[in-house]
Structure 1
């Protein structure tokens, strides 16, 4: 009996310490994640007696602030309203955007006891930490103005760090009036509350040919000598692949096919690569990776594997089929190519700032993965320069600056085609990268000229 009692005692003791450890983990490690979780009902309200911190852009412009009302409560005001709506999110009917992601910091006063003592003298409440973003509202505003009323998204990044300089999406909403507009916002078929830049999933179209090219470099030793005579269309198993407007490109190598965006060439190239190898390259390029972005995002979708049919292979190779990606991912992909093959973790929150002006927790750029060798990235860069200099991407040209990029037209099963552009500049020393998608582009125009203008504005801003 004594031996059995000891066993029960040690079992209970083990369970107690495991429970203690788990509670400690919740309190010390997971507290910020729990605070920002959309299922946390406390996200719907702020703590009484604490002034929520501000949200600022990289230049110190206040995007969101709390204004005290006559009854002592605080009302959240968004100074840029719709222009930064999908970034700041809202703090009223629950929380989204940075309001959700940084909820813990925004509601956590630095040196709270000292602030409360000072508050007794000044009659003010303790103030949560401010959140300073990586976003530059000058670039954000230009992207928003150029996007206009076109459904779609623009993502601008710094390739070497993963810093998000701008993230624009439309349709949008006014975060100042979310409570009043709630019924309309949740029932609108255009889904204005959805951040298309991070949560929208689209076929990548011909921008995917960057991955197909990298797969050839990895798995097809003779890729540099591979040519194909394009007649405008070709049948692969039970799938007929067409080039745009059935245009015949003649005999092309990879560089020529990239510049002309020749679907038939890349479909034939995919046969040489094989479905298994192309799927491995897609994974190597992070298409299924969890990159832990600050804001809510949708993971890209791929269905290609070793058992896929030839039809599925060739469709995937030209960016159609069952592959779906977000603009954020495409910005990460083109940034990695610009950054010698190194994909960085994207981030939009730069650092915390305390009530006394001191800098708090700061985001340190972090490598996510290597998607290719520097040599492969350099070879692909030359092809992408050709796209903009003399191929399908000439509308993205910037006077005096070499731009590398890739256009894309994505077939849309429910309507008109979508237009893509991904690229970076200057090609020889990349400072800015971009991904633009325009839904139903026949009505709103191409993504390419928008990308060129935003790249130009971003380069000018960063040079100041």
Structure 2
């Protein structure tokens, strides 16, 4: 009971906790600058109404506390309902006629960056995750379709039957083929297992057959003779498929695991586990499909933000977190999250080589729409084939490339080619401006 008290208190079936809520003012949820994102207001009948001043703009992060609980409301329910110095609060409350107040939860989220990401996403299905590479702090996490946490009870029938699944946080729970953003992992595998990768070239005619699988470059464009640098900048599928043959299925699957694709990273909010099926016995067809981010590999935007952050952080993948600290009703600071190394996915030398490749993508390749005036951006575009509709658009990247301060992962569902790229560039620019204040 003591060990699992936080989990037990967060369980929606805990009758005792529901009874306790009647005599306790639930703590607030705030962004990193102190803006209130969730608060409880006393009603005339003595009950508390949970209100969300920013509504949809932070809905998938705060979640809701009405018809059950989701998001931070669920993950940190124990803290929000825990009363610091309860005896003193109750004595003071008797004099002032106030109920004791639960602890506040202060997020890593910056609502200026969150709002910019939300405005850019607009009414387009997809997700944006912004992270600080050196710590794992989540600065923004947007997803659409979304919902209004203020009206969940009244909207419940619609929310639970709508085919667009607005209650699903696509940033953490959505799974998509990574498309060409996966070429970062394929390139890393080549650095580890193909001794002549720097001199390896391939004559791209726009399509190539591997076993029983025909690989096409976008619009069947023939890139001619390309090396790794040109192939990454132009996102040449044929080159990376040929490179995968040299890497081998066993080695590529090993690097995928070393990059944490199957790891449990212990994020507080509900999230989906990425999926991979490649192994040493996989066919050549599955190998080449996987190498360009197609086939049976599926990842979440959160994972892709973690992966690109590791590249920006000398190969160190940090554990992602969205709560900075707990704040008591008297203003004192309680538990504070300490940044934690999750794993090392590659060496600083390899990240330096990857950095040069990714700078080329944005400087003169497929990612020029992510450029920021006066700032060097590194990144990778991606187009993920979708069997049920239009392709998905991806971009992952970070800036400044020389000293990364912020990273981003953007996925846009069923979109036109490259739609994620300009969104990512604008979000990176806003984030850099905010962090510089």
Pick from 232, 252, 261 the counterpart of residue 278 of structure 1: 252
- Match of residue 420 from structure 2: 447
Matches within 5 A, 1:333-348: 333-348=307-322
Q: Which runs of 4+ in 1 moved over 6 A?
A: 41-45
1:214-258: CA deviations, max 9, x gaps?
A: 111111111111111100000000000000000001111111100
Distance change >3 Å, CA 149–CA 164, structure 1 → 2: same
Distance change >3 Å, CA 409–CA 45, structure 1 → 2: farther
1:320-345: CA deviations, max 9, x gaps?
A: 00000000000000000000000000
TM normalised by structure 2 equals 0.98
Matches within 5 A, 1:67-82: 67-82=41-56
Matches within 5 A, 1:121-160: 121-160=95-134
- Match of residue 153 from structure 2: 179
1:157-192: CA deviations, max 9, x gaps?
A: 000000000000000000000000000000000000
Matches within 5 A, 1:44-443: 47-442=21-416
Q: Distance in 1 between matches of 2:18 and 2:260?
A: 34
Q: Distance in 1 between matches of 2:255 and 2:36?
A: 42
1:47 CA drift (Å): 2.2
Higher Cα Rg: structure 1 or 2?
A: 1
1:51-91: CA deviations, max 9, x gaps?
A: 00000000000000000111111010000000000000000
1:339-365: CA deviations, max 9, x gaps?
A: 000000000000000000000000000
TM normalised by structure 1 equals 0.93
Give unpaired runs (5+ residues) of structure 1.
1-25
State whether residues 43 and 94 of structure 1, in contact with CA within 8 Å, keep that contact through their aligned partners in structure 2.
no
State whether residues 126 and 143 of structure 2, in contact with CA within 8 Å, keep that contact through their aligned partners in structure 1.
yes
SS at match of 2:222: coil
SS at match of 1:156: strand
State whether residues 49 and 126 of structure 1, in contact with CA within 8 Å, keep that contact through their aligned partners in structure 2.
yes
1:37 CA drift (Å): 4.2
More helix by share: 1
State whether residues 45 and 94 of structure 1, in contact with CA within 8 Å, keep that contact through their aligned partners in structure 2.
no
Q: Distance in 2 between matches of 1:407 and 1:45?
A: 51
State whether residues 43 and 100 of structure 1, in contact with CA within 8 Å, keep that contact through their aligned partners in structure 2.
no
Give unpaired runs (5+ residues) of structure 2.
none
Q: Distance in 1 between matches of 2:46 and 2:28?
A: 18
1:282-311: CA deviations, max 9, x gaps?
A: 000000000010110001000000110000
1:44 CA drift (Å): 6.4
Deviates more, 1:31-40 or 1:372-381: 31-40
1:34 CA drift (Å): 2.5
